[in-house]
Amino acid sequence: MEVKTRPLVAVDVDVRDAEDPLEAVGQAVGEQKIAGAVVKLTVRHTLEQANRLRDIDLRRLLAEAEHIASIQRHVERPRRLRLGDLGSIAGRSPRELLERYLEQRQVEPREAHILLRYAEEIWGEEAGEAVSPPSPTTHVTVP
């Protein structure tokens, strides 16, 4: 008894730097002979690109395949912001940690100053102190 086999085609594409990730996947698929084949698609993309790479659209690109074995996604997620290791943050005050966080997030100095004032108000309330917050219209001089 003769068994008809189909070729297995693995398409591995990295679209993290692509302006149009779906088009980049389509181009990579087009470079392979997928007609009548069993296809395994692996796509490397960013979290921001995920909504532009819907499964239905990827399956349309693979329509000529006899069978789609899998569609795998490897999503590059942004690294979480780190303030430092436990030893370097253990002795820091809440204000120092917040300053470091705002600096790493590249918050504008004027906005950072206002946020620090609001934080001081909260910390003062927790300690039983009265600190007046800056009003939204208050002109704040950045040191």
CA atoms within 13 A on the CB side of 33: 3
Residue 81 has pLDDT above 60, yes or no: no
Contact between 81 and 100 under an 8 Å Cβ cutoff? The reply is no
Taking residues 61-79, report their average pLDDT: 92
Q: Confidence band (pLDDT; 50, 70, 90) for 124? A: confident
- Any alpha helices (H) in 2-93, and if so which ranges? 21-30, 55-61, 86-90
Taking residues 106-114, report their average pLDDT: 91
Domain extent listing, the chain: 8-76, 79-143
Distance CA 61, CA 83 (A): 43
Q: Minimum mean pLDDT among 25-29, 35-39, 68-72, 83-87: which range?
A: 83-87
What is the pTM assigned to this prediction?
0.56
Q: Tokens in use for 120?
A: 């001081």
How many CB atoms lie under 10 A from the CB of residue 81? 9
Three-state secondary-structure class, residue 54: coil
- pLDDT for 31: 96
Can you give the length of the chain in residues?
143
Residue 46 has pLDDT above 60, yes or no: yes
- pLDDT for 27: 96
Contact between 40 and 8 under an 8 Å Cβ cutoff? The reply is yes
- Selection from 31-40, 75-84, 86-95 with the highest mean pLDDT: 31-40
Give the pairing of strands 8-14 and 67-76.
unpaired
- pLDDT for 13: 97
